[in-house]
Amino acid sequence: MTAHTIAVGTHGRYLVEPPAPAHATGPAPILVGFHGYAEAAEIQLERMRAIPGPDRWRLVSVQGLHRFYQRRANEVIASWMTRQDRELAIADNLAYVAAVVDDVARAHAVRPGLVFTGFSQGVAMAFRAAVASSHPVAGVIAAGGDVPPEIEPAALARLGAALVCRGERDQFYAPATHQGDLDRLRAAGVLVQPLAFAGGHEWSRDVVDAASRFLRERHP
């Protein structure tokens, strides 16, 4: 037996929420979000909505290409990749996200300076998409996930700024990994805002408040 791969076309799903009517005129900054494993785009959109002050941002929540059923509730959920054909999945995901951002930018007036955000498995996607973006990037908001090991310092330097959050009881994002990510980002010249909060693997109120400040600093 021999294993082979083949490239095929597929359709991705993403949600867009416009700025509030009071901020609907003129270009709006874009916040692009990525959900965690076994979640859907709606969940990440709710996390983004919870951030104080995003009403003047256009929110874009991207759903992973690999959909499956949550058996107990029979809901459609998704993931970003597995270890099988990992490099090909990364390439597929990056092309997908680039197409989403281009589609939104064509349809709406956009203020330069994208911010990418992710939770858990979505953190890796946020960093990968940010460093590969053809549009100007203002920063990354990451909670409960690590910086992908394959991203080189020169690529990380494109981020400008990053908010990197970890719950003190998070069993999936270890303290040593969190510190290593902070060190890598700082060594690449990224303006890093670390956050350690009293919680677990979650998008906590502390994350929400820190994200609000981070967004205001990117687009006052």
Domains of the chain by range and CATH? 14-218 (3.40.50.1820)
Tens-digit pLDDT profile for residues 16-33: 999 988 767 789 999 999
Question: Within its chain, how far is the Cα of 128 from the centroid?
Answer: 9
Q: What is the pLDDT of residues 100-150, one digit of tens each?
A: 999 999 999 999 999 999 999 999 999 999 999 999 999 999 999 999 999
Q: Are 159 and 190 spatial neighbours (Cβ–Cβ below 8 Å)? A: yes
User: Which residues, in sequence order, are CB contacts of 18 under 8 Å at separation 6+?
Assistant: 24, 28, 58, 108
Looking at every residue in the chain, the average pLDDT score rounds to 96
